[in-house]
Structure 1
């Protein structure tokens, strides 16, 4: 009988589940949309979310009817920083709060200023932001009725584990490190931050390494999901950490995970002496390892906006239009349609086309969008490369489907660009944790056995003068509009 593990991806827009073999091959996959998140506070119904998880698992296993196989274990890749308040029975006392919620921004800023932004970043490795659990709690402190009912505070990952059958509230270091409540140097909950929010560290879940056996699927959950009762449950990790592992990313790699927004991740075997300003220093899923992470506020959303504005069909249509333009086009696009991300974190930054003249064409505008995204990707990588050497770039997500974007980034960075054959990297990372947990093996040993097939390997071209000249103009335009002295570098 064939053996697989079940990997679950607790996404913001979709919930996915897959059966994965010991070589990292996806045998079956299904997905369903995540429940709607309310704009503003980012709240959603956690019970509705778990029901959708159950529906996704039932669909996955129903699709395998007639096949003889064994589910060896289940593990999770989870959106990070999404926060739940629980009672003494681990039941939610209020809606879950998505990391996307921004209503907490004002209260969060007051907390960060009072606590000290430098002090906060020194402890957590994170630049102040409204996305963290700390920000949500700071906002809830202004509504004491809601916070007073809470006995425990957890992330979505932790609560879903209990729903599956884990008897105790547990989290892993990668999820804990994205809450804004975690001491990245000591790898424990920060009493200083938690107490400053009027809470006690006893309210937080126990932190264990990702890939730790945590419990078994309960009889009730087995009925709801179709998973066999008693299936081992293995602690998972944050979605970006899982994506980095699933892409085969090791130390020396930079992984670009691109979707609506984008993250650039650098796995590290040791904690750097200081966290670069404007970047997140997080715990990685492999035990006692770390990950530097940069962020682009808009990536795929720029492509969607441009395609709609230029009246072409999606990313494919926009790229076809862009390829009509000549490579020496001098139009510049700053891709800040929702502010800038790392390293500046300027919410006031706005997108702009520059360098237009009477020869400008619609195809030139389309090409400028891809070029602008490549320039901004390279600018963030340049900041990271000042602190950590990078040998190659791995692109997963929407950017991997483009032929133009990876070539532009390769030419700008001088790095080889790898496009993996496998696209569901977060699920593959969670699967590796499941295999590691049931075999009591180091995660990296599991990852080394996986089959990482490359779809494309792009090397820099011999003539990069045009793109590098355009990059120079890109930086000049950025500096003129947003002088370094005025950027909100935190």
Structure 2
């Protein structure tokens, strides 16, 4: 029996998963990672990535694979990078995805035409290219750029490896031409010799060498496949693989990722696209709203109990959770990133919740409205949104919230048995999902009509000057259909 290994290098842990083609888990394990934070700085020790990855894979394979391991792929945090020497040894700590010590002014001044053509328009200070310029200020001769996944992939194969387009996106790779934009990097003073070759996710990088096999337990000769960022890996694990399908991840915040045949250009720059292994595009956006508002606004409350109470009061058989129920715009922190850009945005509630159950339901309803507005905005940009919608993230533990989201979207939503980045990397390593992706349930809308409260919510966002009138009008038009 063949198996594949997916590895997820996250912020707090590294997770390894060995799975068969029909979705049977052969073994899984995780190991913690530590960070060093100081104001805008966030660093990790690259050597710890390797040590804990090796420990996790050894444990995941402790009983030995029942057959051949056909491939391994690694997901990593987007925008995390370091400098290495010519032999792959770390010369600097790793600057993590949210390290903000660098400035993006220079890269945006020089690279604006390329960033505009790629659809995201501007880089943020925490993106990898600004951080690379910061590191190059004191870089020794012979230094090389390595993303998080590049560092461990080199250890796995024992020689220099190419980087993948997904992890290279925030370093400024030209996703259309699939190359580094030499004209931009020359102007920025980035030497061409520090840059790795670039390949699509899913490309074979080499095979596990004898030394790595001894340390990790992965059999020598196992193909090592170029991976993706953790967000794209989660999308692959969720099974959002066809044009028009979307993975909506609702946890602390809300993230949408989908599939399109053509590159989406967003005039606001809140939606940007990765490149898929087959050459199609993976657009997505991240909102600052989500379940994090629950722990902030209802500290110490039993959220499972509140979900059950809200379900009893407003769910099937109860009064609809909408026409006269308060609704909260559930920002986790000040400022919104998607489906509009409004640094000054802050949370608000329309109506007065009578108690904690209504306060809880108002947050859930507001998050569902933001999710709906995200799809309305994607439709305005020309992205197909008529395919399968797969819900993942912590919010799916609430059956009430899941039904509410289906009602607001007005269409069925799919829940998976397992949708995690490590599984997505196993899917990528295999080159196809096979039977790895399993559906747990499909939830149909109950028929509750929530259009009127949704339009009130949209109107309030427009009135406050956060939502563009064109986007608001498009939401109204789609709701009237």
TM-score by length of 2: 0.87
Task: Report how far residue 113 of structure 1 moved.
Answer: 5.0
User: Which of 414, 417, 420 matches 2:413?
Assistant: 417
Gaps of 5+ in 1: 437-445
User: Which of 380, 393, 398 matches 2:374?
Assistant: 380
**Is residue 2:303 matched to residue 1:320?**
no
**Is residue 2:152 matched to residue 1:160?**
yes
| 1:443 counterpart residue number | none
Helix, strand or coil for the counterpart of 1:323? helix
Count of matched residue positions in the alignment of Structure 1 and Structure 2: 458
Counterparts in 2 of 1:414 and 1:70: CA distance versus 1, 3 Å: same
Alpha carbons 1:332, 1:355 under 8 Å: kept: yes
Task: Report how far residue 214 of structure 1 moved.
Answer: 1.4
| 1:468 counterpart residue number | 451
Alpha carbons 1:126, 1:279 under 8 Å: kept: no
Helix, strand or coil for the counterpart of 1:183? coil
Helix, strand or coil for the counterpart of 1:164? helix
Helix, strand or coil for the counterpart of 1:69? coil
Counterparts in 2 of 1:453 and 1:123: CA distance versus 1, 3 Å: closer
Helix, strand or coil for the counterpart of 2:457? helix
Counterparts in 2 of 1:353 and 1:321: CA distance versus 1, 3 Å: farther
**Is residue 2:331 matched to residue 1:336?**
yes
User: Which of 270, 273, 285 matches 1:279?
Assistant: 270
Task: Report how far residue 68 of structure 1 moved.
Answer: 3.8
Superposed CA RMSD in Å reads 2.5
Structure 2 counterparts to residues 176-215 of structure 1, below 5 A: 176-177=168-169, 179-215=170-206
Helix, strand or coil for the counterpart of 1:93? coil
Distance 1:379 1:150 in 2: 48
Deviates more, 1:373-382 or 1:240-249: 240-249
Counterparts in 2 of 1:212 and 1:112: CA distance versus 1, 3 Å: closer
Counterparts in 2 of 1:468 and 1:118: CA distance versus 1, 3 Å: farther
Distance 1:474 1:17 in 2: 42
Task: Report how far residue 94 of structure 1 moved.
Answer: 0.9
Counterparts in 2 of 1:484 and 1:247: CA distance versus 1, 3 Å: closer
- Deviations along 1:150-173, one digit per CA (max 9) or x if unpaired, are 621121111110011241231122
| 1:453 counterpart residue number | 438
Task: Report how far residue 85 of structure 1 moved.
Answer: 1.2
Task: Report how far residue 364 of structure 1 moved.
Answer: 0.7
| 1:35 counterpart residue number | 34
**Is residue 2:399 matched to residue 1:403?**
yes
Alpha carbons 2:209, 2:220 under 8 Å: kept: yes
TM-score by length of 1: 0.86
Structure 2 counterparts to residues 128-167 of structure 1, below 5 A: 128-140=123-135, 144-145=137-138, 147-148=139-140, 151-167=143-159
Distance 1:158 1:334 in 2: 39
Alpha carbons 1:6, 1:431 under 8 Å: kept: yes
Distance 2:148 2:231 in 1: 15
Alpha carbons 1:30, 1:59 under 8 Å: kept: yes
Helix, strand or coil for the counterpart of 2:68? strand
| 1:102 counterpart residue number | 100
Helix, strand or coil for the counterpart of 1:5? strand
| 2:318 counterpart residue number | none
Counterparts in 2 of 1:148 and 1:282: CA distance versus 1, 3 Å: farther
**Is residue 2:240 matched to residue 1:255?**
no
Task: Report how far residue 418 of structure 1 moved.
Answer: 0.7
Distance 1:365 1:37 in 2: 36
Counterparts in 2 of 1:370 and 1:30: CA distance versus 1, 3 Å: same
Distance 1:202 1:344 in 2: 39
User: Which of 445, 461, 464 matches 1:478?
Assistant: 461
Helix, strand or coil for the counterpart of 1:377? helix
Task: Report how far residue 384 of structure 1 moved.
Answer: 0.5
- Deviations along 1:332-384, one digit per CA (max 9) or x if unpaired, are 2112222212133333322233322xx62211111111111111111111100
Counterparts in 2 of 1:228 and 1:422: CA distance versus 1, 3 Å: same
Alpha carbons 1:123, 1:182 under 8 Å: kept: no
Structure 2 counterparts to residues 56-75 of structure 1, below 5 A: 56-62=56-62, 64=63, 68-75=66-73
| 1:233 counterpart residue number | 224
Distance 1:195 1:469 in 2: 54
